[in-house]
Amino acid sequence: MPVILITGASSGIGAALAAHYAAPGTTLVLNARGLARLEAVAEACRAKGATVLCQSLDVRDRAAVGAWLARVDAAHGLDLVIVNAGINGGNPSGGVETEAAAFETVDVNLNGALNVALPSVTLMLARGRGQIALISSLAAFAPLPDAPAYSGTKAALLAHGLALRTKLKSRGVRVNVVTPGYVKTTMGRDYEGWRPQEMSAEEAARRIARGLERNDEIVAFPQPLAALARGAALLPERLRRLGMRDFVFKVGKNTRDDGRTRDDKNGRGT
């Protein structure tokens, strides 16, 4: 009877993963800031037979997140933690990303992710088992000029996750890094430009689940685009810039994983 925790679960990849794993005997622990959307995802998962617990929580609140994880683990035991919550960053005008946007992106995508991942490591080490998946991006390999903070945070998650994986391998705790390409999500719609090999969130969830089941070090997809992205890091800078010129990133109103907007009067989504 697996217990699976997913952050950023109210829409996009997080919601698709919740639906994918929902089944009788499975306990899903779902987190997002948008509680109404989160409850809608939870009801759909309950209809498939899963037991679902919801928590509206800002992943940037380290103390609150740590306490929540400890409570859930004590009551149920965490088998799989999928660290998915994130935002795009960038600049709606197409100009240079502002300091405020950059620091907010770092706070959510990197610090918020580690606020979930690191306490999970501690809890799982105490039991000698468990699995943690960090949702990064192919932008970790081929950074987007219009989203430097997003690209930087995803690269940091990749490096941190791979280092942790090696360190924890002999301790019974598995760490995987997921680097998707273009996925049709609310957050993804803010990218206006060429979106090669874009796939549905449901297909992305299936690929992620397969990769986690195989315990792949890096779950990268789609394969052709992933190969190009990983190869881009080896190119001379002039050629890399030339190859990235068509990847223009324009940030619109919806920049959150849970469908909430920047101007949501009720607060920020994560």
Please give the Cα distance from 86 to 83 (Å, whole number). 9
Q: What is the pLDDT along the chain (270 residues), one digit of tens a residue?
A: 899 999 999 999 999 999 999 999 999 999 999 899 999 999 999 999 999 999 999 999 999 999 999 999 999 999 999 999 999 888 877 789 999 999 999 999 999 999 999 999 999 999 999 999 999 999 999 888 889 999 999 999 999 999 999 999 999 999 999 999 989 876 555 555 656 668 999 999 999 999 999 999 999 999 888 888 887 666 556 555 555 555 555 554 444 443 333 322 222 232
**Integer Rg of the chain from CA:** 18
Domains of the chain: 3-243 (3.40.50.720)
Count Cβ atoms below 10 Å from residue 100 Cβ, excluding itself: 8
> How much is the pTM?
0.86
**Residue 247, SS3 per DSSP:** coil
Instruction: Find, among 202, 201, 200, 182, the residue nearest to 192 by Cα.
Output: 182
Residues noted as catalytic: 150
The answer to whether the CB of 188 falls within 8 A of the CB of 182 is yes
